[in-house]
């Protein structure tokens, strides 16, 4: 009887491993399908003069100086 119990436990463990592997593959596929564009511009963050993080690039000093000269 111990022999059949061993076989049964081995089969159960094998089924559990297969299920985990299948679930992992499904999660991997979902991540792949939902992946963002991965563009560098999308991943950049800028720090403004106040120290806050923003998604828009700050005005360069050259542009600010040019505007002041024109005024």
Q: Is the pLDDT of residue 70 over 90?
A: no
Average pLDDT of the segment spanning 19-36: 91
For Cα atoms 52, 54, 58, give the angle at the middle one, nearest 5 degrees.
95
Burial environment of residue 31 by CB neighbours within 10 A (0 to 12, 13 to 18, 19 or more): exposed
pLDDT digits (tens, 9 = 90+) for 3-22: 778 899 999 999 999 999 99
Question: Distance between CA atoms of 9 and 13, rounded to whole angstroms?
Answer: 6
Average pLDDT of the segment spanning 39-65: 79
pTM over 0.95: no
- Strand-pair category, 46-47 with 53-54: antiparallel
């Amino acid at each position: 009887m111990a022999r059949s119990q061993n076989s049964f436990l081995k089969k159960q463990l094998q089924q559990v491993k297969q299920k985990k592997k299948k679930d992992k593959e499904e999660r991997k596929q979902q991540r792949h399908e939902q992946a963002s564009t991965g563009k560098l511009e999308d991943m950049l963050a800028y720090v403004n003069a106040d120290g806050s993080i923003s998604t828009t690039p700050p005005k360069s000093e050259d542009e600010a100086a040019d505007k002041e000269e024109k005024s």
